[in-house]
Amino acid sequence: MRVPSKIRTYCPKCGTHTEHKVSLYKAGRQRTLSWGARQLKRKRRGYGGEPRGMLKRKAKINKKAVLVLTCSRCGRKQLRSLGRLSRVEIVR
């Protein structure tokens, strides 16, 4: 899907429609000391099998694309989901 690099849409902070810069959302680095990461590391120790089992069916092949809209007036960011797409391209 082709998405324009600038979108004129509603900004909740400004209260009006303003120009927004469009970029793709990228997840940050996960915390290594979070509870889930510590639990998985503990389960993987030793000679046991897979901690959560092997996937026996086909996995979903497309990620859900999320846009980050940055207001040009106030700088507020808001996220907008596009759903499952094979490819997202930001057109300049």
**HEC profile for 37-77?**
HHHHHHHHCCCCCCCCCCCCCCCCCCCEEEEEEEECCCCCE
Residue 21 lies in a domain: yes
Query: In angstroms, rounded to a whole number, what is the distance separating the alpha carbons of residues 31 and 41?
Result: 13
Provide the pLDDT for residue 7: 96
Which residue range forms the structural domain that includes residue 5?
1-28+61-92
pTM exceeds 0.85 for this model: no
Query: In angstroms, rounded to a whole number, what is the distance separating the alpha carbons of residues 88 and 67?
Result: 10
Q: What is the CATH number for 65?
A: 3.10.450.80
| Count: domains in the chain | 1
Residue 68 lies in a domain: yes
Residue 44 lies in a domain: no
Residue 73 lies in a domain: yes
Q: What is the pLDDT of residues 36-59, one digit of tens each?
A: 999 988 988 888 878 888 888 888
H or E element that contains 48? none
H or E element that contains 35? helix 35-44
Q: What is the pLDDT of residues 13-22, one digit of tens each?
A: 999 999 999 9
